[in-house]
Amino acid sequence: MKLREAHRERVARNEVRVSPLWAQPCLAYNVQIELDPRTKSSLEQIQQSLKQAEPNLLVCPQKTLHVSVAWLVAVHASYPVAKDSLWERHAEQWTMELTRIAAQSTGFRITYEQVVATDSAVIALARPAEPVNRIRRMIRERLPLPPETHNEADLVHTTLFRYRGSLSDPEKFLAMLEEDMSAEATAEVDELIVSKELVYPSLEAEVLARLPLASR
């Protein structure tokens, strides 16, 4: 509710931020949770309903739906050296430490509960956040990431849409989200993936490593 209220006025005033990078080549190295086909299908049904109500949404394709855990080399950040060089320099150490972190983290389940419009995206929020935030803390503490990479997220969410332009009827859209739209989907999480993002937002990406979590 805090997140919804924090963004509601801006969205109601149609102060939404268009996604300038959409479908553009990019480069990033990320730690993510890959969703199973059943969970992706449930989230896609929500997307279909909302897209009919609001044409100025950019739909994140089903294959791209994921949970971001941490950035290693971030898509929006600038670095003093080439991003690929950074990855090549640190890939072995980072991947080894991420493998240890995954092995020290028990598999868990997340449940999507609500759909929220922020000023930059429409997201499906999931709980509980603590299993993911524990992994995020270990990454911050144990990986020597570049100072330009900022990992401060504490929400567990999946981005469903970005904005193509101003909403056609922001109040109607917000009312639909608040009255009719709940996210009823559950995902079993048993691994982390390291992903190389090539077209934003993950429209083209390459899985570099799959890191199993400990059995429950």
Counting the structural domains of the chain, the total is: 1
Find the radius of gyration of the CA atoms of the chain. 17
Spatial distance between the Cα atoms of 113 and 183, rounded to a whole number of angstroms: 5
Contacts 24+ apart (CB under 8 A), 43-47: 43/112, 43/124, 43/158, 43/160, 43/183, 43/185, 46/115, 46/124, 46/160, 46/181, 46/183, 47/160, 47/161
- In the chain, the amino acid numbered 100 is R
Q: Which domain holds residue 111?
A: 2-212
- In the chain, the amino acid numbered 189 is V
Spatial distance between the Cα atoms of 110 and 2, rounded to a whole number of angstroms: 20
pLDDT digits (tens, 9 = 90+) for 86-100: 999 999 999 999 999
CATH code for position 35:
3.90.1140.10
pLDDT digits (tens, 9 = 90+) for 78-88: 999 999 999 99
Sequence-separated (6 or more) residues with CB below 8 Å from residue 43: 35, 62, 65, 112, 124, 158, 160, 183, 185
pLDDT digits (tens, 9 = 90+) for 103-158: 999 999 999 999 999 999 999 999 999 999 999 999 999 999 999 999 999 999 99
Contact 3, 118 (CB under 8 A): yes
First to last CA, the chain: 31
Query: What does the pLDDT read at residue 1?
Result: 65
Q: What percent of the chain has pLDDT over 70?
A: 99
User: Whole-prediction pTM value?
Assistant: 0.95
Spatial distance between the Cα atoms of 23 and 204, rounded to a whole number of angstroms: 9
Query: What does the pLDDT read at residue 5?
Result: 84
Query: What does the pLDDT read at residue 180?
Result: 66
Query: What does the pLDDT read at residue 18?
Result: 95
Contact 171, 53 (CB under 8 A): no
Average of per-residue pLDDT values in the chain: 95
